[in-house]
Every structure is written in C-alpha cells, then in structure tokens.
Amino acid sequence: MAFSLFNFGKGEGNDNGSNQKVVQIKLDQIVPNRYQPRQVFDKDGIRELSETISQHGLLQPIILREYEPAKFEIIAGERRFRAMKLLEWDAAPAIVEKMTDQESASLALIENLQRSQLSSVEEAQAYQRLIDLNNLTQAALAKGMGKSQSFVANKLRLLKLIKPVQTAILDNRITERHGRAMLDLDEKQQRDMLMKVVNERMTVRQTEDEVARVLGRPLPSEIAKQKAEAKKKAMADLAPEASLVQDQPAPEPKKTAKKAKAKTKPAKKINDSRLAINTIKKAIKLATDSGFTVKTKETDDDNTYQLVIEIPKKQ
C-alpha cells in the first residue's frame, strides 16, 4: 500500500525489489532514521525486548538502506537495533533495501505509524512529514493511511500548540485532551495554562473551564450541567403526561334501559387519541428546548392522525 500510495520505486534506474537476503551488518555502521517519528523510547520496554531476543534470538531482521558506502540507515526496526546494542552484539541480521532519501523517510514514517504506539504529537508530526515529503493533501494521506480526513485533520491541529505543550504531551505530563483544550489560546496563554495544569494537576474538564474563563466563554461544565438538567426535567415532565392515558377511569358498567332513559344527556367522552398526540407533541417541544434538532411532519385524515418524527443521529 505504501509503495503505491507514495509513488515509491518510480524513479529512473531505481530498483525497490529486494531478494530478502539476510546479511550481517556491524552495529557501528548503522544509524537511526532521521525521520523516525518516535522521540521517546521506553527504556523498560527496550530492556524487556533485549531479554526476549537474548532467549529466543532475533525473529525478524531489521531493514536498512545503504546511504553511503558501508554506512546504513534504519528503515524499520529501531527498537530491535537498540535492544541489540544493549546486548552488546557486534552485528545485526538485516535486509538491505535500495531506496532514495524520500522513500527511506516515507517508509520509516509509515512503518512506525502502523506498528508503534506513538503519542498523539508524534503521530501528528509523522503525518505532517509525509504530507511535506510527498506533496500530499490531507485527503490523499488519510485515504492512503486508511483514516478519515477529519481524524488526520484533528491530529494535525495539535501542531498548532506551542513546543512546551507538545513536549508535555510527549512526556505524559498532560494528555492529548488537555492539549486540545488549549488550542484557542495564544502562545502566552498556552504557556501560563500549561504551568497551571501541571502544577495544580488539573483534570481535562477543569482545564476546559479555565480556558473558557480566560477567553470569556460559557463554562463547558455549566453547559453540560444545564443540558443534563433539561433532559432530566424533560423526562420528569413527560412521565405524568404519558400516564394520563393509562390512568383514565375504567368505563362504568352498562346501565339498564330504564336508567338510561332517565338520563337526559350522555357523558362527554374523552378523546384518548388526541391526548396521546398532545403528549407526544409536548415531548418533542421539551426535546427541542433541550437543544435537540427535531423535524416533524403531520397528516390528519378521517381515520388516522400521523406524526412523523426525524431526529438526526449527530446533534
């Protein structure tokens, strides 16, 4: 997928084919890929990987390319490379591919995006590098990576955060959602908010509220509370109305002909169908007042009363 998407192997005289021959390359001849998206490596994870390799051997060779005579760059397998260095191996089993600089960088990014648990900032940086390297639109990148365009766009928005905030996400001092809450702040406001969030160990909701205060906006927590109360009230108001139909008194036993003649006017009959329709309409109004988008279509004939209700799934 990656080779067809990013036009690898179409350069003149370039051969991307590999005979998959595994060779031994000295570790001191290998350097990491400069476009490696992972900036933080888990030392404990590398140590655990080295123990697994020590016990069971290297099950999958790393992939390299020879960018200069006797000098190799990692395409895939930097964690394995680090584990082998920790084990003080002299050489690494590797497959050497022929690639251009652009192909090497792009494939390294794609390989890590597909296989590594990157942080949200690392993922955003990788997407941006792929766009720049291959002159891609967000839509083309999203299609090639099997993601929605909105997903890629939302990740790329994180790059609008100042570097200290991005670093805090990388270091797990704050979450991606903390960062997203700060996107509408300017640089100074982001810096101040970061210090406040870290020092006071604020939750995401607390951060969203504090950002709203800075920007003079309604507090998200208050908005959520009002919506919850409106929905609760809607349910409470609907329950008594819905029970009216069921609570109608049972019809009285049929009177004898003699008693029926004595009665001058028949009792007025309650129109239960109209009461039911009014109850539904009241529920629709309560839902609309609570912020829901509701469309209705009414038809009325001699025998039936039809009420069609449309509520979009995405509100």
Catalytic residue, chosen from 12, 66, 68, 78, is 78
Quote the CA–CA distance of 38 and 76 in Å, as a whole number: 12
Give, to the nearest 10 degrees, the angle between helix 43-56 and helix 78-86.
Answer: 70
Report residue 226 as tokens.
Answer: 């009002």
How far apart are the C-alpha atoms of 32 and 82, rounded to whole Å? Answer: 10
**Do the Cβ atoms of 96 and 72 come closer than 8 Å?**
yes
Total length of the chain = 315
Instruction: Give the 3-state secondary structure of residue 296.
Output: strand
- Which ranges of 37-148 would DSSP assign to H, the alpha helix? 43-56, 78-86, 101-115, 120-134, 138-145
| Integer Cα distance of 10 and 49 in angstroms | 36
Identify whether 78 is a catalytic site residue.
yes
What backbone phi and psi angles, to 5 degrees, belong to 310? -120, 125
Task: Please give the Cα distance from 5 to 107 (Å, whole number).
Answer: 11
DSSP reduced 3-state for 139: helix
Q: 227 is written with which tokens?
A: 């919506």
Q: Is the dihedral of CA 26, 29, 32, 35 positive or negative?
A: negative
Separation of alpha carbons 163 and 184, rounded Å: 15
How many other CB atoms sit within 10 Å of the CB of residue 146?
9
Residue 70, token pair as written in the block: 């006797």
**Residues involved in catalysis:** 78
